[in-house]
Structure 1
Amino acid sequence: MTRTWTRRLAVAGVLLGAIVVLWLLFWPVTYWLGGADLDHLGPQDRLAAVGTIRGQVGAVLSAAFVGGGLYYTGRKFFLDRDKQFTDRFNSAIDHLGSGEETVRAGGIRALDRILHDSPGDRNRVLESLTGFLRHRTPGSGRSGDDVNAAVAALRGRGLPSKRTTENALDLRGVRLSEANLRGISLRQADFGQADLTGAVLAGADLRTARLHQTTLINADLSGADLTGADLRGARVVRADLTGAVLTGADLAETDFSGANLTGADLRAADLTRASGLTAEQIEPATTDPETTLPPHLGPTPA
């Protein structure tokens, strides 16, 4: 009962306030706008002038009401759209917890759509995708449709807009054997202790990426940019590093056994603590006087 009376009093107060405002606008304000000129007019001319002023005041009020309506409509539109994105995001996240691969894949593709439709949700979508990959990727064997969908979403995510920033991807410990990551932007991504055996990373942007103790056996890293990357303890055994850029990379204890370094950029690279290197591997690579080789290989080739 108290709430009912409160609502009625509030409505009555609003109506009374509206009546007072209208009275002020169409009487005192009208004559104030007309000023002393109204006193010099005859009754009919004064009535016409007052009508004209009131018409102008009414036009201003109408414009204000229209503007307010447009503002309310626009605000409601954006609020409704945000609610739709939130509902879609929550529904997609629920699908990721399903026991069925096809349902999880559908949730991933729904997140991929949100990733492109809602720049404001970009980081939390990417965090959800990388979290899924960290916890769902199998240790070995065929990657499911859900994992492939998540990888495709990351590969096709594009760049953040000028008004948004993107956190570095957290992919520690993922198992993405033979995954297709060709040309993907993984700058500053953290692949610490991940298994990327046989993965295709040709042309990938891995600048300043963390690949500490990452398994890259038989991986295709041809043309990849690994400038400033952390490859300490990584296993790039039999990996294809043709034309890869390793300038400034941390290569301590990196295992290069059988790796193809033809045309790889090793200028200013510190390989003194790298393992598995042979003179035959280094010869076709690009080096300079600042390249340092393991003790058993002697001075840097000219």
Structure 2
Amino acid sequence: MARLRARWWRIKAAVRLFARDLGWGRPRRPIVVRDVNRRWVLLLTALLVGAAFVAYGWAIAEAPRMLDSNSVRQASPDARLSAHHNARLLVTSLGGAIVVAIGLLYTARNYRLANRGQVTDRFTKALERLDSTKAHIRIGGVHALARVLQDSPSHHNDTVDVLIAFLRDRSAPSPGSADQPPEDLPQELPEDVQATVTALAYRPRRRAAERAGLDLHDLRLDHLHAPYGRLQNSDFSGCRLREARLHRAMLDYAELSRADLRGAELNRSSLKHATLHLALIDHADLFAVSLSGADLSMSSLTGANVSHALLLDACLSECRLNGAYLSFSDLQLANLTRADLSHARLNRCRLHNANLSFASLRQAEARDSHFDGANMAHISAAKANFGFSRLNQAVLESADLRDARLVGAQMRRVDLGKADLRGAALIGADLAGANLSGADIRGADLRMARLCDAGGKNPVEGLDANDLATARTDHSTRLPPRLQAGADERW
């Protein structure tokens, strides 16, 4: 005991020195939280490694007893010795496998870090190339960034931001500068700008990035070439895309308000739920395009080819479609309120339950089309051709159908109240159950028109002289023989 007391000061000094090394003592300099945390991590790591070695040694020593069984106890001494050796060998092998796995994980981590450093170096060198005054060097920088996009998901957003910034810097000259092209003429796209758009349009598929889209608003991208491009959710508002080639492009939910797409090729593209409010799409090719749920209100599609297009539930209110080709298109439930469809081609279109109130269809061609249940009140369709079309239960109240052709049209239960049908051709039309109260049919031709049900006996389903009594007729109105006599007596 006396010897222990004599050595106590030495033990105390050693503990104090050890504590100072660990940062427990009073430091001579201010404590840095990061240094303290690092020391704690090192201490805990050392303790865990030591505990692992102790546990590993204990497992090797105790392996024979843990794996012992009755069969081993009853075996010969040589067999028991072999079993004990195999047990220790199994534990040793497991420990080696764990060490190898840890080594592989550490190697993979180092590889990722090295690869990240290489990608960062490539990214930095590509940025330096983008600042060059030579076009081919800038194009090389764009291609280098495109490879970074392909190889490194962690650099995806940074690379896209850099490419968009470069595109914005290169695609639109400052207003009033000597390089500013005339506003009325589309300009060829510079090669480095085209390469940048190509890299963005064909970037790798990553769901989060595709949901974010691209911010390309107010850019000048005439003659852009990006067929099959993945541009959904992108912002092209106010963008100039004259004569752009975007066939089969993915533009779902894209923002194209006020965009200039005159003469653009968008055939077979997907623009579902896209916004094209006030867009200029005159003489563009929209063949077989998908515009379901899209907003084209107040846009201009004069002379555009929109045939075989899918426009389910699309909004085309106050849209200018004069002279447009819409044949074979599906416009069911579409909103065409106050749309201008004069001289348009609507042959074999489907417009079930569409809203065409106050629309203009002057001299439009809508033969063999389906307007069943459509709201066509107050439309202006003078000299329009609805030959052999279906207008069953459609609302044509107060419609202007002067000199319109409705030859062979199916118009069962159609509402023609107060409609202007002067000079209209209704030869062979099916008007069973139609409402002609207040309609003006002076000069109209209803010869061979079906004015009753199939049996010709049901006055409720068909028209008779009493029904025509409320319509405006004169000597020029041509009716079927059975109604012509009664009409002559009234006149």
The bucket for the TM-score relative to the shorter chain is 0.7 to 0.9
Contact 1:214 1:233 in 2 (8 A): yes
Alpha-carbon distance in 2 for matches of 1:259, 1:171: 24
Aligned-partner residue type, residue 351 of structure 2 = D
Alpha-carbon distance in 2 for matches of 1:43, 1:273: 100
In structure 1, the gaps of 5 or more residues are none
Deviates more, 1:95-104 or 1:213-222: 95-104
TM-score by length of 1: 0.77
User: Is 1:292 the equivalent of 2:338?
Assistant: no
Q: 1:67 to 1:229 in 2, by over 3 A?
A: closer
Partner of 1:144: 190
Q: 1:39 to 1:264 in 2, by over 3 A?
A: closer
Alpha-carbon distance in 1 for matches of 2:314, 2:58: 81
In structure 2, the gaps of 5 or more residues are 1-20, 23-38, 174-180, 182-186, 324-341, 362-378, 390-491
Alpha-carbon distance in 2 for matches of 1:261, 1:206: 16
Shift of 1:46: 8.9
Q: 1:16 to 1:199 in 2, by over 3 A?
A: closer
Superimposed CA distance per residue, residues 13-44 of structure 1 (whole angstroms, 9 cap, x where no aligned partner): 999878866765565x4686588999999999
Superimposed CA distance per residue, residues 97-128 of structure 1 (whole angstroms, 9 cap, x where no aligned partner): 33332222112111211222234443443333
Superimposed CA distance per residue, residues 195-247 of structure 1 (whole angstroms, 9 cap, x where no aligned partner): 10111122222222110000112212222222221111111122222333333
Aligned-partner residue type, residue 174 of structure 1 = L
Q: 1:46 to 1:78 in 2, by over 3 A?
A: same
Alignment counterpart, residue 238 of structure 2, candidates 193, 200, 204: 193
Superimposed CA distance per residue, residues 28-72 of structure 1 (whole angstroms, 9 cap, x where no aligned partner): x46865889999999999987776655444333322222222221
Partner of 2:31: none
User: Is 1:76 the equivalent of 2:131?
Assistant: no
Q: 1:34 to 1:266 in 2, by over 3 A?
A: closer
Superimposed CA distance per residue, residues 173-201 of structure 1 (whole angstroms, 9 cap, x where no aligned partner): 22110111223222222101101011112
Q: 1:234 to 1:65 in 2, by over 3 A?
A: same
Alpha-carbon distance in 1 for matches of 2:170, 2:348: 38
Alpha-carbon distance in 2 for matches of 1:34, 1:237: 84
Alpha-carbon distance in 1 for matches of 2:244, 2:154: 31
Partner of 2:138: 104
Quote the RMSD (CA, aligned, Å): 3.9
User: Is 1:256 the equivalent of 2:290?
Assistant: no
| 3-state SS, counterpart of residue 280 of structure 1 | coil
Superimposed CA distance per residue, residues 123-174 of structure 1 (whole angstroms, 9 cap, x where no aligned partner): 443333333323321355332222121122234335337x986421221122
Q: 1:225 to 1:285 in 2, by over 3 A?
A: farther
Contact 1:85 1:114 in 2 (8 A): yes
Q: 1:51 to 1:248 in 2, by over 3 A?
A: closer
Alpha-carbon distance in 2 for matches of 1:41, 1:231: 87
When Rg is computed on C-alpha atoms for both structures, the one with the higher figure is 2
Q: 1:291 to 1:96 in 2, by over 3 A?
A: farther
The structure whose RCO (Cα within 8 Å, separation 6+) is larger is 1
Aligned-partner residue type, residue 69 of structure 1 = G
Partner of 2:468: none
Deviates more, 1:128-137 or 1:213-222: 128-137
Contact 2:64 2:83 in 1 (8 A): no
Alpha-carbon distance in 1 for matches of 2:143, 2:279: 32
Deviates more, 1:66-75 or 1:150-159: 150-159
Q: How many residues align?
A: 296
Partner of 2:229: 184
Alpha-carbon distance in 2 for matches of 1:205, 1:299: 36
Contact 1:201 1:220 in 2 (8 A): yes
Partner of 1:62: 96
Aligned-partner residue type, residue 259 of structure 2 = T
Partner of 1:153: 199
Contact 2:248 2:267 in 1 (8 A): yes
Deviates more, 1:282-291 or 1:209-218: 282-291
Alpha-carbon distance in 2 for matches of 1:70, 1:216: 55
Q: 1:110 to 1:18 in 2, by over 3 A?
A: same
Greater helix share, 1 or 2? 1
| 3-state SS, counterpart of residue 197 of structure 1 | coil
Shift of 1:87: 2.6
Contact 2:129 2:137 in 1 (8 A): yes
Alpha-carbon distance in 2 for matches of 1:63, 1:111: 41
Alpha-carbon distance in 2 for matches of 1:217, 1:114: 34
Deviates more, 1:63-72 or 1:133-142: 133-142
Contact 2:302 2:320 in 1 (8 A): yes
Partner of 2:262: 217
Q: 1:130 to 1:30 in 2, by over 3 A?
A: same
Partner of 1:132: 166
Alpha-carbon distance in 1 for matches of 2:137, 2:196: 13
Contact 2:321 2:344 in 1 (8 A): no
TM-score by length of 2: 0.50
Q: 1:99 to 1:66 in 2, by over 3 A?
A: same
Superimposed CA distance per residue, residues 59-88 of structure 1 (whole angstroms, 9 cap, x where no aligned partner): 333222222222211222223223322332
